[in-house]
Amino acid sequence: MKIALYIEDGLEQIVLTPEGDTEKAILGKLHDGSRALSITRGSFYECRGGWVRQSGDDSSTMLVLRRQPTTTPTDDDSSR
């Protein structure tokens, strides 16, 4: 994964460029609406927030993707 920071005239942008199929698939989930996105601060080790952190150093920023809950139509919805 290539990661670039672009800063110019008040614009600040983080650019993620996948280099393999797995990275492309994960980044695709940012766009397809199947995952809820949260941005957290930390490192990698399991924590109560439900993501994985690595150590006690909380200087990393993580984008966490969780599968969106699926909704099923109710009887009221089918009558419309």
The mean pLDDT of the chain is 80
Rg (CA), the chain: 17
Q: How far apart (Å, rounded) are the C-alpha atoms in residues 63 and 61?
A: 7
Half-sphere CA count of 69, side-chain side, radius 13 A: 2
Residue 17: per-residue pLDDT: 95
Residue with tokens 């110019």: 8
Q: How many residues belong to the chain?
A: 80
**Domain locations in the chain as residue ranges:** 1-32, 37-68
pLDDT of 48-71, one tens digit each? 666 665 666 677 787 888 888 877
Full-prediction pTM beyond 0.85?
Answer: no
pLDDT of 9-43, one tens digit each? 999 999 999 999 999 999 999 999 899 998 888 76
* Contacts with 56 (C-beta within 8 Å, 6 or more apart), sequence order: 43, 45
